[in-house]
Structure 1
Amino acid sequence: MKPLSKIDNFEDLLTKGISNLKLRDPEIAKILDAEVRRQSQTLSLVASCCAVNTESLVAAASSLVNVTAEGFPGKRYHAGCENVDLVEALAIERARNLFDAEYASVQSHSASSANYQVYSAFLKPGDTLLGMALDNGGHLTHGSPVTFSGLNYKAIGYGTTTDGLIDYEEVRSLALEYRPKMIVCGATAYSRTVDFAKFREIADSVDAILMADISHIAGLVAVGLHPSPINYAHITTTCTHKQLSGPRGGLILSGRDAERIVPGTEKTFAQTLDAAVFPKMQGAPAVNIIAAKAVAFGYAMTPAFKEHIHRIRSNADIIAKAFDSRGYEVVGQISENHTVLIRLSGNMTGAIAESALEECSILVNKNRVPGETRSSFVTSGLRIGTGSLSQRHFDAKGCEAVVGLICNILDSVEPDGEKAYKLDKQLVDKFTAESYRLCEEYPIAEYQY
């Protein structure tokens, strides 16, 4: 019998795993290779996406995945957690330093999970939750009737003005009328700055808890290009994969309120949040993902990350102006973060635009816009983000070329209903070739940090 090979270091384990995957499951290995090629040959303008940095990718593939570690550092329900404790403690320390927070919980499996954990900590079924309406840029977990947040709580939605700005007077009016137990600020399709101080003022006026969801702007907040909610919101949540370029996962933070007693209880906000994550809502954490989060937090404190986030911000300005110059309506007129929300006109729908652009190797996503009359599967808008382009080091010339290509494609499309369309095959080939050319000019290798 052939003796088993000894593996006692991280690099050998990964090398062996890659080799065995190609040998024993070539079908999956082939698909994984194809996905790398697809991403390298596609211009992604999806606002919720950035590529994970390679160091986080490797950490996520570590042997930490083998460890069951219910509990928290120094207080586990299982043995064999000495290295797990070091990893989680480091992730917590880095998250606190990155966002200047007093408290950080790194175990949430996603930002949606983090939001639900916060709700479960402070709300009872039927309590009133005031969040941004989906049509005006809010997230599903901020009170949509098809989700946990809308089904279990009395969800009230605030919106934007005709200029596409958060209507703070409406927020105040709704808060006074409904006296919500919690107010949620933050958005998934909103291109302007969020005034967290004003939200806290409104929350305090009705004795509500304020939660800020910064999943889309966490990188901007981390480097100071967007005001931070940490010491305005009682609790802040975010994902770790969008602007932070880490693994898919969630993060819960708190600032000056962390050690305050939650009204009506004997526990602090920090203690209440810990209990909501474990054991209330989750069991054992994905410690390999926590390691990948720690790597991402470390990278987010480097000059290279700050340069990347500055590119995200400046490229959004360039793209907004370029669409405006081509006659497209930019909701909110300008961008103050990474998002550009476009309202389509005539018979062009978001579903048609998304499909036609994907056919030409450009990814965007259809999105509802203020005053939306079409369904979520059709929509009247496009949400565009600059994260992935900025990771490729796109400059002003490149961004303008992308917008020009998008507009040329959409100008060539003949809508046929809400989802069907006609686009000449020769034009598809021409536009796809131009997408490939831009991918080669700004290669994916540029963002392998």
Structure 2
Amino acid sequence: MTTQSSITIWADPEPAGTSLRESDGYDGPERGAHSDTELAELLDAEANHPTPAPAAAAPSRHADSARLEQVERLAVARATKLFGARYANVRPHSCAAAHRAVLAALLSEGETVLGPHPEAGGRAAHATPARGTSTHGTSAAATATHAAPSAATGRERRTLYYGLDRTGRVDYAQVEEVARRHRPRVIVAEAGAYPRRLDFARLRAIADAAGAYLLVDISHVAGLVAAGEHPSPVDTAHITTTNTHQQLGGPRGGLILSGRDHRAAGPDGCTPLERLLHRAVRAQAHGAPSLAAITAKERAFALAARPEFRRTARLIVENARALAWELAGLGYRVLAGGTDDHMVLVDIVGSGLTGAVAERALSECGILAHRYRIPGDLPGDVPGDAMAPSVAVGLRLGTNALAQRGMGPEEMAECARLLHTVLQSTKGAGTAEHRVPPALVTRVREDVARLCARHPLPHQRTIRTPALPNGAPR
């Protein structure tokens, strides 16, 4: 993971220049829960493999698509080996597209999906309940990509939600009750904002009892799953989806996997799941498959199989546990009592700040964190603690990029101290505005810069723009 190379971008120099902050100039500790960095060779692969014009259909239908077919088969082989799967589809341009295709393959008009409420680890882009709805038994329509009535498929579906118990863990009894009462066609599980391990075997048992398919999204922990640092759902769930950029460090894209159930009968009782998935991806598919993206995915799968990737994954988990411990020692309530993956969820109600204020104040000081709606954010759950999603009362932190920099548990104490210093010194004005003393901003930014200088990213990317012909407009 120490490859260095230069990438020539044959494009307008102005947008090329705007990417410098991400690739070279940004020196902050990337502590967003999903933060990861793409290796230069992945970007190189994506930049240097244009998609053949007739690649929209199956590769074998066009002679010009022979290269796409070869690359796709290699990517599929590497994905199945990496995750221990028996079926893989590497074509989706995003996890949202992959998820959409799976639901299109499994659902008929008016059928039911049961998934996690955002406070139970569900991502708002997957299934956002109407404000004030119950976390179970609701038939309120969602409004976003994954579990919404789909404009892409033209099918209306009913969406139910499950939540957390009082310990901050998934309420499996509630999942079982709602599944028994409503018999959904699909049960969705994911760890978008859930720091503990999901009990995939129990969820599968609930799905089997209800006659449902179990769909698990592992986007936030895919790297840990690939490295053996997190249990894999591939052989337990009927279908598993992930993106390829959040923790695998690959290009932006999606991936569909299936294990022992890849040839199980679909809803019609005879068509195998793998065939239904292949058809759905083609039908839902956002245009031609991208040779560039699939090539970069293939490289990402190869890199994720290396020993150094596994070492980084182990460090990600160790750092998250150390960060949670340090923050708890500073008086913050860590949700779910800790973490089993890369994510730390922190309740900051005691600081007197909202999540929006804390996120902006930390960003001003060079620290990336995300506001997060914790249990109790919903109206009626905890009086006086009803915050809109854009405000929230929690923070979501992650250790992916910190581990990639080579930081270990020792540095997590310094990271926690920096975060605490900023939050203690921030004055909120309403739910979104803030003020941090300028001298403190300067001091913390300097501390952040020194910390990151001691632990640089394992690769540096130099972006060059070609010289323009004389007289060419700039």
Task: Give the alignment's TM-score, normalised by structure 2.
Answer: 0.87
1:15-414 matches, cutoff 5 A: 17-18=8-9, 21=11, 25-39=12-26, 41-73=27-59, 75-76=60-61, 78-144=62-128, 145-148=142-145, 149-151=147-149, 152-346=156-350, 347-372=352-377, 373-414=386-427
The structure with the greater share of residues assigned to helix is: 1
**34 and 132 in structure 1: CA distance in 2 versus 1, 3 angstrom threshold:** closer
Aligned to 1:9: none
Task: Supply the AA of the counterpart residue of 1:106.
Answer: V
Shift of 1:67: 4.2
User: Residues 136 and 368 of structure 1 are in contact (CA less than 8 Å); yes or no, is this contact kept in structure 2?
Assistant: no
**Which stretches of structure 1, 4 residues or more, deviate above 6 A after TM superposition?**
none
What is residue 11 of structure 1 aligned with on the other side? Answer: none
SS at match of 1:173: helix
Q: Distance in 2 between matches of 1:322 and 1:125?
A: 49
Q: Which moved more, 1:56-65 or 1:265-274?
A: 56-65
Bigger Cα displacement from structure 2, 248-257 vs 416-425: 416-425
Cα distance in 1, alignment partners of residues 14 and 284 from structure 2? 39
Secondary structure of the 2:395 match is strand
The alpha-carbon deviation at position 414 of structure 1 amounts to 1.0
Assess if the C-alpha contact under 8 Å between 1:115 and 1:141 holds in 2.
no
One-letter identity of the residue aligned with 1:169: A
What CA RMSD, in Å, does the superposition of the two structures yield over aligned residues?
1.7
TM-score, with length taken from structure 1: 0.92
Q: Distance in 2 between matches of 1:169 and 1:50?
A: 35
The CA deviation string for residues 216-242 of structure 1, in whole angstroms up to 9 with x for no partner, is 111111122211111111100000001
Counterpart Cα distance in 1 of 2:460 and 2:405: 5
Worse-matched range after superposition: 370-379 or 30-39: 30-39
For 2:405 and 2:460, the matched residues in 1 are separated by 5
CA contact (8 A) 2:95 2:241 kept: yes
Aligned partner letter, 1:391: Q
Distance 1:67 1:223 in 2: 36
| Of 260-269 and 404-413, the range deviating more from structure 2 | 260-269
Whose RCO is larger (CA < 8 A, sep 6+)? Answer: 2
Cα deviation, residue 446, structure 1: 5.5
SS of aligned partner of 1:80: helix
Query: CA, structure 1 residues 143+34, in 2 after alignment: closer, same or farther (shift >3 Å)?
Result: closer
Opposite residue 370 of structure 1, the aligned amino acid is: P
SS in structure 2 of the partner of residue 444 of structure 1: coil
CA shift in 2, pair 1:52/1:35, >3 Å: closer
Structure 1 residue ranges without an equivalent (≥5): 1-13
8 Å contact kept, 2:84–2:234: yes
Query: Cα deviation per residue 1:275-321 (whole Å; 9 max; x = unaligned)?
Result: 00003443311110000000000011110110010011111111000
Q: Distance in 2 between matches of 1:97 and 1:26?
A: 40
Q: Which amino acid aligns with 1:438?
A: L
Quick check: 1:132–1:187 contact (8 Å CA) kept in 2? no
Q: Which moved more, 1:134-143 or 1:341-350?
A: 134-143
SS of 1:332's partner is helix
**Identity over aligned residues, as a percent?**
37
> 8 Å contact 2:354–2:391 — kept in the other structure?
yes
CA shift, 1:175, in A, is: 0.4
- The whole-number CA distance in structure 2 between the counterparts of 1:229 and 1:169 is 20
- Residue deviations 1:63-88 (CA, integer Å, cap 9, x gap): 33354412344x33x33111111110
Could you tell me how far apart the structure 1 residues matched to 2:58 and 2:82 are?
21
Query: Which segment drifts farther, 27-36 or 426-435?
Result: 27-36
How many residue pairs match? The answer is 427
Question: 2:18 is matched by which residue type in structure 1?
Answer: I
Could you give the per-residue CA deviations for residues 384-410 of structure 1, whole angstroms, max 9, x where no partner exists? 111011110111221211111000000
Q: For 1:339, give the aligned amino acid.
A: M
Counterpart contact for 2:90–2:256, Cα < 8 Å: yes
Question: How far does residue 32 in structure 1 lie from its aligned partner after superposition?
Answer: 2.6
Look up the equivalent residue of 2:450 and give its one-letter code. R
Gaps of at least 5 residues in structure 2 are 1-5, 129-141, 150-155, 378-385, 462-474
Deviations 1:344-387 (A, max 9, x none): 11431110010000001111111111121211110011111110
